[in-house]
Chains A and B, each alone.
Chain A
Amino acid sequence: MIGDWIDIGPLSAIPSRGARTVPVAGGEEIAIFRTGDDAVYALVNRCPHKQGPLSQGIVHGHAVACPLHNWRINLASGEAIGDDKGCVPTIPAKVDAGRVLISRLHAVTSALAA
């Protein structure tokens, strides 16, 4: 069934203050983050600095620290925090009835743009 949102699994499958990944055929991998207060964000899994896999960073507040060089990325905007400048594409995401949903349109667009 084709809707506006893609169900990618239960929230419980993502560790609190952690992330899981969703590879996109023909596109860039998406990282799905879950914060300590159960907010969910989806970003392209690539740091704007040196392409580090953001999904492997330490999640704190609503930010993630890239595992390669500790750039901190705002999960909501995808923008680097502090003196660093750069931005990673975000994909609208939400939780409904315990399921994590990401925007189909944005996921397709970001895949095709890659």
Chain B
Amino acid sequence: MGVHERIAGEGVGGGPDGRAHLVVVGNGMAGCRAVEELLARDPGRYRVTIFGAEPHVNYNRIMLSPVLAGEKTFDDIVINGLDWYHDNGIELITGDPVLAIDRVGKSVTARSGRTVSYDKLLIATGSDPFIIPVPGKDLPGVISFRDMADVDHMLAAAGAGGDAVVIGGGLLGLEAAHGLTLRGMKVTVLHLMPTLMERQLDEAAGWLLKTALEARGQTILTGADTAEIVGDTAVEGVRLKDGTLIPASLVVMAVGIRPSVTLARDAGLDIGRGIKVDDHMVTSDPDVLAVGECVEHDGNVYGLVAPLWDMCRALADGLVEQHSGYRGSVTSTKLKVSGIDVFSAGDFSGMEGVEDIVLRDASRGIYKRVVVKDERIVGAVLYGDTGDGNWYFDLLKKQENISDIRDLLIFGQSFASGGGQADPKAAVAALSDDAEICGCNGVSKARVCQAIVDGAVSLDAVRSTCKASASCGSCTGLVEQLLSITLGEDYGSEHIVKTLCKCTSFGHDDVRREIVAQGMRAIPEVMQKLHWSTPDGCSSCRPALNYYLLCAWPGEYVDDQQSRFVNERMHANIQKDGTYSVVPRMWGGLTNPRELRAIADVVEKFNAPMVKVTGGQRLDIFGIRKEDLPAVWADLNAGGMVSGHAYGKSLRTVKTCVGSEWCRFGTQDSTGLGVRIERMTWGSWMPHKFKIAVSGCPRNCAEATIKDFGVVCVDSGYELHVGGNGGIKVRATDLLCKVATEQQAMDYCAAFIQLYREHARYLERTAPWIERVGLDFINSRIVDDEAGREALTARFLFSQSFSQDDPWAARAAGAEAEQHQHLGEFRPLDAIAAE
């Protein structure tokens, strides 16, 4: 019907040789492929003229990266040489871009003034690089990565050496960075998003890619927002919005491409995001066709090469009146960086009812994720081993039912097609023989296995023979797994290893030890190296990993807000109605008129329905809406108060009694000591909440013996108590030791907290922790080992140097405003009225 039937119908055939004249605007991959397809069907049907803006014959644009990298030459990537044009009677006009189309007179005019009339016009103008509109974008030395001229420019710049900045961490940008690195430049990649190639890769694969590129000497800055390109007469550097200045003599902009539609728009054709075409690649003018990256088909615009082939087939079928029709394409991506294998295909987002099958092999640096819906593959991300990429892509395109091979699907075609067995417990088995299992006693995997083989067939037997797991016990999980692996079914575990969560086969202690041993510094890295079975964990493991990393790498690890429970993310306590309560810090339970006035004013200003004195000697303001929190904090900050961390797995309060300053029984300045301890410990993140109290005499009015750390002052000094707990199961403290000076009390406190921070499992209070590891262990580390204690204290104070920024002040100043603001508002009745 309609448009396509007239493609080669009436009005065609008026050329000098009696054949219809097909004029192709664009000598690139799409334009020439379309002509090839046409020639294959009916070589004599049209007289063909091709205009090219570049001074080259038809070459393979996607192979520019290997040319830049020095792996290929321009001649290697030519698709059709001059002889092809000649042999097929095609007139080629290079270096002369078409600037105007006269659709009424049916002719095109090029920059040189040359005018050529057409019967059929094919627009294949491709796409233009997107140039981010920042100051300095037009400076010499700022280029895109789109054609051979750009490559020549980069090669010239690389010859002089120096620094290059590539803006854009997508496919094109990374290939440019790779080439420039190989050419000897020092390359920094700036990427706006948190992970590289985020449109093709998920976070796990993006992280692996970043690590691999960094290992090759590139600097990768994610979340990097370019503010301006600086330089007087040529590029000198790039300044980020955070003020960082990165020197560069070459800046490559590779942030994306846009369909090149100027010519078509000027000619009055229908334009959406690209030139709108029907299934036969016909535009709104029946004699004008378009193909390639410049078109929009069925709402889709493509920036990859594979759809071209399908489009050109449909186009040529239409030109010879054998209409088939283009139905859109499913695309796959492969990164062309030698030695780094990345594959992505289909959709791994945005659908209901999808399931993930994930395989991670840390020792070989492999991550595979296949997304399945209704027993069919809908997407795949492969890193490290992309050998099965095409197989998955094939199954995806054919929509094959994979239910029969589902269990083995992730292991690849050779496994799934029969033979081979997968070992789901590969994680521990994959550790090398010299891997250290027990850090306390320096026992290797081989020694543990030898002990088991020699007859130590239970955990206790292993502990008593080779000493593995006999000290702090943190490697118990690993030893259990080695027993299980070595003995197989003969090992009836009396201790089933309690894993961190269902996403992993490792326990808390294993994960913590491996984080430090392997120097892991990010959540996706831990999930990859420890073979997580889910793409991004769960609400149990993510907060735990976030804490373990924070504890292991103070000042270095960047907290992941989305891995925090609501209270820690919002810096307030959520209540059953969804409002929050706010508790400002009152040091040692002391307050003053200014603070009380500020609190009173906040209560009135925000109509807080309740204010309550807490068990921790401070005031809790209830019923604050999340939108109002920053304003409340600003007012409390103005009154001299900071966050009380009543919401955190962190130091809560230091409860005090009035002590020797006022009390007739007081033996020491318990109030002052409490304030000083709170000043030292506030803001620290811990495995669970942590409460401290200081009582001025054994009457213990501050209830120090049911706190995590309690000080009871006596005439001769300070009794230090640990591991107390109110709550569901009351536990009185154990007496740790007695010290003589206030400074010692503070140092021991810091050491104890750090020991707890480094050894307890996430969400384990000090009471169950001490019952698990035993008071002897605490004594041996805090009391008996002076050097160890001092080191613990030093590590705690170092960590504190990064954690004592008031989170409220940052939020009140506008940080993370999206946590508090609505995205928008919807007024359905207004909408209905408008209809």
Contact = CB atoms under 8 A, between A and B. Distances in A.
**Do A and B belong to a common assembly?**
yes
A36 B535 contact: yes
B258 to A, nearest CB: 12
B350 A40 contact: yes
Nearest to B562: A17
Contacts of B354: 62
B826 A61 contact: no
Interface string A22-61: 1111110010100111111000000000111100111111
Contact of B829 (A17, A26, A51, A58): A26
Q: Interface range on chain B: under 10, 10 to 19, 20 to 34, or 35 or more?
A: 35 or more
Interface string B521-541: 000000000000011111100
Most buried by A among B198, B565, B826, B835: B826
Contacts of A65: 538-539
Contact of A8 (B569, B570, B823): B823
A37 B821 CA distance: 23
B538 A61 contact: yes
A74 to B, nearest CB: 9
Contacts of A23: 822, 825-826
Contact of B349 (A24, A37, A57): A37
A51 B539 CA distance: 19
A21 to B, nearest CB: 5
A20 B818 CA distance: 8
A36 B203 contact: yes
Contacts of A20: 818, 821-823
A86 interface: no
A15 B818 contact: yes
Contact of B574 (A6, A17, A59, A68): A68
B30 to A, nearest CB: 22
Contacts of B569: 56
A11 to B, nearest CB: 11
A2 B831 contact: yes
9 contacts: A6-B826, A15-B562, A23-B822, A26-B828, A51-B577, A52-B578, A53-B574, A68-B574, A97-B273
Contacts of B353: 76-77
Given A13-B818, A32-B823, A56-B574, 18 more contacts: A15-B562, A20-B821, A21-B823, A22-B822, A25-B825, A37-B349, A39-B349, A39-B351, A52-B574, A57-B539, A60-B536, A61-B536, A62-B354, A65-B538, A67-B566, A104-B831, A108-B832, A111-B826
Residue with the greatest number of chain B CB neighbours at <10 A, chosen from A58, A67, A108: A58
A36 B566 contact: no
Contacts of A94: 350
Contacts of A52: 574, 576, 578
B202 interface: yes
Max chain A CB contacts within 10 Å: which of B542, B822, B824? B824
B451 to A, nearest CB: 39
Contacts of A38: 198, 349-350
Given A32-B823, A61-B535, A53 B828 contact: no
A58 B350 CA distance: 18
A97 B272 CA distance: 12
A25 B578 contact: no
A23 B627 CA distance: 12
Nearest to B570: A56
Interface in B25-62: none
Contact of B826 (A8, A62, A76, A97): A8
Contact of A58 (B539, B576, B822): B539
In the complex, the 5 A-B pairs of residues with the closest C-beta atoms, listed nearest first? A65-B539, A20-B823, A76-B352, A67-B566, A17-B562
B160 interface: no
B352, B576, B823 — most chain A CB neighbours (10 Å): B823
B607 interface: no
Nearest to B356: A61
A8 B821 CA distance: 14
Nearest to A8: B824
Given A36-B202, A56-B570, A25 B828 contact: yes
B536 A36 contact: yes
Contacts of B318: none
A112 to B, nearest CB: 7
B202 A111 contact: no
A87 interface: no
A102 to B, nearest CB: 8
B17 interface: no
Contacts of A108: 828, 831-832
Contacts of A104: 831
